[in-house]
């Protein structure tokens, strides 16, 4: 993969910093992508990084000598580290370990890479990479928040399988994704139609669980009860929360969407499976029940395919109630800030207001799925937000807009309410 650069970006000088994480093996591919895309690239490696990948590999890929030591007599004869700091238009650290993040957050300059970062006026970005428990540690999240305050742009981390065998949020983004996000940061006009608003980092340190998509309730081995939900709204909310710095778990019914960068995804089928997955991620700070959960399931699932009867009397199914996921979470002793969705076809605010009261929710997002062009399956949506304040039900209307934009507007309101 290589992406064309906008006029004025060709020849941009990127200093690629590599710290001591197993994800350093991906840095070689990243260096190659940066070169193919038209950037000038020089590499600085920490001492620990050399245990994972050799400087010779990076030198071969970039065509430039790799710097590894602050106290290099030949380079420092001309104040080499200061010259490097001045040379760079952009500093990109990938991977950035928890240790490196901590040192940069507190202004340390005890090796070449951290010294460069303190001495530069370049734009600074990093792609964190570490064990999922290390990323979730309050100290790491506080350091991430501090780095953002200092002007750093964090790319990721991503969620998935980790080298240690764990699964969760903390792995480095793939090189192709890092390149795409780097270009997005350097080219403000790139894909302007998709860039709906500036990203606020107001959810750093928050743990968020979101449900999305439909559930399927089996009738027999080949048939099920379900609905038309595409999952697009829930996935857009997950992406918006992750971009704002939250640690996001997306519990998803069967959909065909890609997992947003930096989001942990748990795939489920039925409502019961969805509730189990959500409860496995409690406690959290924010729960958004965006999934279109089937209200009923078959009382008994047929072992074999249900056959048509010879007469015309039809088929009678016995259904039982599914668990109410959003109400269950709202009723927990350690309840998070709980947001429900109400997809209605009539009396929108009446039904949504009833859900707000009955289920003791903090906020309901109501949308009229009978309107043409919005709701299930479409790329646009509109919503009315309802919440209780000073013994009264308040409302705020969000007009029709792309679901990505609507998700950011909803998360704006949620973050304000949580504060």
Q: Which residues form the catalytic set?
A: 164
Domain presence at residue 407: yes
**Among the listed ranges 91-100, 139-148, 194-203, 259-268, which one has the minimum average pLDDT value?**
194-203
Residue 66: pLDDT above 80?
yes
Can you tell me the mean pLDDT for 67-79?
64
Same domain, 347 and 384: yes
Is 291 among the annotated ligand-binding positions? Answer: yes
- Which residues are within 8 A (CB) of 258 and not within 5 positions of it... i.e. 6 or more apart? none
Interatomic CA distance for residues 204 and 249, integer angstroms:
14
Range of the domain at 51: 13-194
pLDDT in tens, 263-294: 999 999 999 999 999 999 999 999 999 999 99
Is 96 among the annotated ligand-binding positions? Answer: no
Domain presence at residue 354: yes
Is 355 among the annotated ligand-binding positions? Answer: yes
Same domain, 229 and 377: yes
Domain presence at residue 5: no
Domain presence at residue 201: no
The CATH number given to whatever domain includes residue 280 is 3.40.50.10300
Can you tell me the mean pLDDT for 64-70?
87
Q: Count of alpha carbons within 13 Å of 399, Cβ hemisphere only?
A: 0
Is 305 among the annotated ligand-binding positions? Answer: yes
pLDDT in tens, 98-124: 999 999 999 998 899 999 999 888 899
Cis peptide upstream of residue 157 (ω within 30 degrees of 0): yes
Same domain, 23 and 74: yes
Number of domains in the chain: 2
Is 290 among the annotated ligand-binding positions? Answer: yes
Is 289 among the annotated ligand-binding positions? Answer: yes
Residue 93: pLDDT above 70?
yes
Same domain, 233 and 183: no
| Residue 189 confidence (pLDDT) | 39
Is 324 among the annotated ligand-binding positions? Answer: yes
Same domain, 176 and 215: no
Helix 403-418 crosses helix 232-243 at what angle (to 10 degrees)? 50
Domain presence at residue 199: no
**Per-residue confidence at 394, pLDDT binned at 50, 70, 90?**
confident
pLDDT in tens, 356-368: 999 999 999 988 7
Q: What percent of the chain has pLDDT over 70?
A: 88
Residue 305: pLDDT above 80?
yes
Same domain, 302 and 348: yes
Average pLDDT value over all residues in the chain: 86
Last residue of a domain, which of 152, 170, 194? 194
Is 86 among the annotated ligand-binding positions? Answer: no
Same domain, 283 and 349: yes
Residue 164: pLDDT above 80?
no
Domain presence at residue 46: yes
Same domain, 268 and 146: no
Last residue of a domain, which of 127, 161, 194? 194
| Residue 127 confidence (pLDDT) | 92
* Number of C-beta neighbours around residue 272 at 10 A: 15
**Per-residue confidence at 377, pLDDT binned at 50, 70, 90?**
low
Cβ–Cβ under 8 Å, residues 413 and 386: no
Is 323 among the annotated ligand-binding positions? Answer: yes
**Among the listed ranges 17-21, 134-138, 321-325, which one has the minimum average pLDDT value?**
134-138
Q: How far is CA 330 from the centre of its chain?
A: 23
Q: Two tokens at 312? A: 């015309």
Q: Two tokens at 311? A: 């007469």
Q: What percent of the chain has pLDDT over 90?
A: 47
Domain presence at residue 127: yes
**How would you classify residue 383: left for phi > 0, otherwise alpha for psi between -120 and 50, otherwise beta?**
beta
Is 232 among the annotated ligand-binding positions? Answer: no
Same domain, 52 and 156: yes
Ramachandran angles phi, psi of 139, nearest 5°: -65, -40
**Per-residue confidence at 199, pLDDT binned at 50, 70, 90?**
low
Same domain, 218 and 152: no
Last residue of a domain, which of 146, 173, 194? 194
The CATH number given to whatever domain includes residue 160 is 3.40.50.1950
Same domain, 227 and 86: no
Domain presence at residue 27: yes
Interatomic CA distance for residues 166 and 347, integer angstroms:
47
| Residue 269 confidence (pLDDT) | 97
- Which residues are within 8 A (CB) of 212 and not within 5 positions of it... i.e. 6 or more apart? 231, 233, 234, 235, 237, 238, 250, 251, 252, 253, 255, 290, 291
| Residue 312 confidence (pLDDT) | 64
3-state secondary structure the chain: CCCCCCCCCCCCEEEEEECCCHHHHHHHHHHHHHHHCCCEEEEEECCHHHHCCCHHHHHHHHCCCCECCCCCHHHHCCCHHHHHHHHCCEEEEEEECHHHHHHHHCCCCCCHHHHHHHHCCCEEEEEECCCHHHHHCHHHHHHHHHHHHCCCEECCCEEEECCCCCEEEEECCCHHHHHHHHHHHHCCCCCHHHCCCCCCCCCCCCEEEEEECECCEECCCCCEECCCCCCHHHHHHHHHHHHCCCEEEEEECCCCCCCCCCEEEEECCCHHHHHHHHHHCCCCCEEEECCECCCEEECCCCCCCCCCCCCCCCCCCCEEECCCHHHHHHCCCCCCEEEEEEEECCCHHHHHHHHHHHCCCCEEEEEECCCCCCCCCCCEEEEEEEEEECCEEEEEEEEEEEHHHHHHHHHHHHHHHHC
Same domain, 156 and 211: no
């Amino acid at each position: 993969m290589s992406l064309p650069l906008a006029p004025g970006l060709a020849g941009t000088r990127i200093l690629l910093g590599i710290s001591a994480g197993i994800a350093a093996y991906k840095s070689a591919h990243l260096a190659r992508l940066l070169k193919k895309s038209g950037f000038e690239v020089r590499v600085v490696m920490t001492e620990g990084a050399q245990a994972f990948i050799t400087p010779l590999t990076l030198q071969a890929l970039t065509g430039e000598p790799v710097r590894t030591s602050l106290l290099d007599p030949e380079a420092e004869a001309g104040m080499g580290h200061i010259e490097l700091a001045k040379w760079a238009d952009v500093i990109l650290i990938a991977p950035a370990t928890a240790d490196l993040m901590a040192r940069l957050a507190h202004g340390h300059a005890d090796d070449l890479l951290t010294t460069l970062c303190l001495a530069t006026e370049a734009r600074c970005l990093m792609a964190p990479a570490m064990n999922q428990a290390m990323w979730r540690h309050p100290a790491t999240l506080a350091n991430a928040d501090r780095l953002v305050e200092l002007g750093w742009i964090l790319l990721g981390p991503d969620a998935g399988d980790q080298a240690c065998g764990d699964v969760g949020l903390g792995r480095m983004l793939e090189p192709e994704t890092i390149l795409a996000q780097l270009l997005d940061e350097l080219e403000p006009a790139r894909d302007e139609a998709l860039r709906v608003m500036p990203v606020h980092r107001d959810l750093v340190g928050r743990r968020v669980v979101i449900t999305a998509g439909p559930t399927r309730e089996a009738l027999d081995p080949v048939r099920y009860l379900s609905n038309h939900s595409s999952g697009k709204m829930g996935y857009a909310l997950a992406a918006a929360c992750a971009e704002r710095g939250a640690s996001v778990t997306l519990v998803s019914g069967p959909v065909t969407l890609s997992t947003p960068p930096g989001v942990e995804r748990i795939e489920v089928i039925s409502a019961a499976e969805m509730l189990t997955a959500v409860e496995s991620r409690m406690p959290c700070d924010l729960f958004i029940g965006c999934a279109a959960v089937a209200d009923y399931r078959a009382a008994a699932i047929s072992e074999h395919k249900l056959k048509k009867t010879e007469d015309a009397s039809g088929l009678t199914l016995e259904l039982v109630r599914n668990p109410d996921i959003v109400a269950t979470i709202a009723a927990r002793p350690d309840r998070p800030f709980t947001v429900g969705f109400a997809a209605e076809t009539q009396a929108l605010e009446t039904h949504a207001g009833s859900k707000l009261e009955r289920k003791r929710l903090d906020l309901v997002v109501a949308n009229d799925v009978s309107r043409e062009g919005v709701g299930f399956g479409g790329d646009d949506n509109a919503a009315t937000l309802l919440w209780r304040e000073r013994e009264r039900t308040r409302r705020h209307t969000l007009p029709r807009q792309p679901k990505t934009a609507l998700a950011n507007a909803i998360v704006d309101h949620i973050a304000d309410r949580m504060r």
